[in-house]
Structure 1
Amino acid sequence: MSTLRNGFNSIAILGGGPAGLATGWALEELGHTDYTIFEKSSVHGGNARTVRFGDFKYDTGPHRFHARHPEATRLVSGLLGPDLQEVDAPARIYWEGRFVDFPLRPLQILKSGGLGFAVKAATDLVTARIRSRNAAPPEDFQTYAYNWFGKTIAGTFLVPFSERLWGLPGPQLSPDIAGRRLPGFSVAGIIKETLFGSKKSDHLEGRFLYPRKGYGQISDKMAEKLSPGRLAYSQRIVGLETNRDRITSVSVKTGGEVRTVSPEAVISTLPITIIARMMDPQPPQEVLDAADKLQFRDVVLVALFIDQESISDAAVTYFQNPKYEFTRAHEPRNRSRDMSPQGKTSLVIEYPCFRTEDIWERDEKSIVDNLVRDLDQMGLIKGSRVFASDVHKMRDAYPVYSKGYKETSDIIKSYLSQFKNLWTLGRGGSFFYGHVHDFVTDGFSTAEGVRAYLNQPAGVGV
Structure 2
Amino acid sequence: MEKVHILGGGPAGLAAAYFAKIKKIPFSIYEAKSSVGGNCRTLVFDDCNFDTGAHRFHNKNKIATSAIKSLIDNDLISVNAPSKIYWNSTMTPFPLDPKSFISDFHIVDKVKIISENIFNIFLSQKPDLSFKEAAYRKYGKTISEKFLINYTEKLWGVSANILHNEVTGDRFKNLTPLTLIKSLFNQRESNSKHLEGSFLYPKNGYGQIFESIENIISNKIMYNYRIKKIHTKNNSIDQVSFSNGERVKTEKAISTLPLNYFIHILEPSAPEDIITMANSLKFRNLRLAIFTLNCDSFSKNASIYFPEKKFPFTRLYEPKNRSISMAPKGKTCIVIEVPYKDCDKIGEIDDDEFLMSIQNHLSSNNIINRSLFLESKSVVMPNAYPVITKESKINTKKIYKYLKSFKNLKMIGRNAQFKYLHTHHLFNNAFYKINELPS
Which category describes the TM-score, using the shorter chain as reference length? over 0.9
Structure 2 vs 1, CA of residues 138 and 11 (structure 1 numbering), >3 Å: closer, same or farther?
closer
Report if aligned partners of 1:16, 1:39 keep a CA contact under 8 Å in 2.
yes
Q: Which of 204, 208, 213 matches 1:217?
A: 208
What secondary structure is seen at the aligned counterpart in 2 of 1:359? helix
- What fraction of aligned residue pairs are identical, expressed as a percent? 33
Q: Deviations over 1:386-434 (max 9, x none)?
A: 1111111111112111113222101111111111111110111111111
What secondary structure is seen at the aligned counterpart in 1 of 2:337? strand
Q: Deviations over 1:7-32 (max 9, x none)?
A: xxx32111111111111121211223
Q: Deviations over 1:367-389 (max 9, x none)?
A: 21121121123332112211111
Name the residue aligned to 2:113. 121
Structure 2 vs 1, CA of residues 199 and 12 (structure 1 numbering), >3 Å: closer, same or farther?
farther
Structure 2 vs 1, CA of residues 345 and 194 (structure 1 numbering), >3 Å: closer, same or farther?
farther
Letter in 2 for 1:365: D
- C-alpha distance in 2 between matches for 1:346 and 1:97: 22
Structure 1 residue 360: Cα displacement: 1.1
What secondary structure is seen at the aligned counterpart in 1 of 2:436? helix
What secondary structure is seen at the aligned counterpart in 2 of 1:304? strand
Structure 1 residue 111: Cα displacement: 5.0
Unaligned runs of 5+ in 1: 5-9, 456-462
Letter in 2 for 1:188: K
Name the residue aligned to 1:171. 161
Structure 2 vs 1, CA of residues 172 and 443 (structure 1 numbering), >3 Å: closer, same or farther?
same
Q: Deviations over 1:195-226 (max 9, x none)?
A: 67788985643211100000000001111221
Structure 2 vs 1, CA of residues 195 and 161 (structure 1 numbering), >3 Å: closer, same or farther?
farther
- C-alpha distance in 2 between matches for 1:196 and 1:12: 54
- C-alpha distance in 1 between matches for 2:352 and 2:414: 31
Structure 1 residue 310: Cα displacement: 0.5
Report if aligned partners of 1:109, 1:118 keep a CA contact under 8 Å in 2.
no
Q: Deviations over 1:124-151 (max 9, x none)?
A: 3334444xx2586573221221222222
Alignment of 1:28 with 2:1, yes or no, is no
What secondary structure is seen at the aligned counterpart in 1 of 2:245? strand
Name the residue aligned to 1:208. 199
Name the residue aligned to 1:407. 394
- C-alpha distance in 2 between matches for 1:260 and 1:196: 64
Name the residue aligned to 1:369. 356
Alignment of 1:302 with 2:296, yes or no, is no
Name the residue aligned to 2:94. 102
Report if aligned partners of 2:82, 2:197 keep a CA contact under 8 Å in 1.
yes
- C-alpha distance in 2 between matches for 1:224 and 1:87: 26
Q: How does 1:208-247 map to 2 (within 5 A)?
A: 208-226=199-217, 228-247=218-237
Q: Which of 344, 350, 353 matches 2:337?
A: 350
Name the residue aligned to 2:7. 14
Name the residue aligned to 1:325. 312
Name the residue aligned to 2:74. 82
Total equivalences in the alignment: 433
What secondary structure is seen at the aligned counterpart in 1 of 2:241? strand
Letter in 2 for 1:32: I
- C-alpha distance in 2 between matches for 1:298 and 1:268: 21
Q: Deviations over 1:293-339 (max 9, x none)?
A: 11111111111111101111111101121111111111100000111
Q: Which of 62, 75, 78 matches 2:54?
A: 62
Q: Which of 372, 390, 403 matches 2:377?
A: 390
- C-alpha distance in 1 between matches for 2:19 and 2:97: 44
Letter in 2 for 1:147: R
* Aligned residues: CA RMSD: 2.2
What secondary structure is seen at the aligned counterpart in 1 of 2:209? helix
The worse-fitting range, judged by mean Cα deviation, of 324-333 and 436-445 is: 436-445
Name the residue aligned to 1:141. 131
Structure 1 residue 117: Cα displacement: 3.4
Unaligned runs of 5+ in 2: 184-188
Report if aligned partners of 1:98, 1:112 keep a CA contact under 8 Å in 2.
no
Report if aligned partners of 1:313, 1:334 keep a CA contact under 8 Å in 2.
yes
Report if aligned partners of 1:176, 1:401 keep a CA contact under 8 Å in 2.
yes
Structure 2 vs 1, CA of residues 378 and 189 (structure 1 numbering), >3 Å: closer, same or farther?
farther
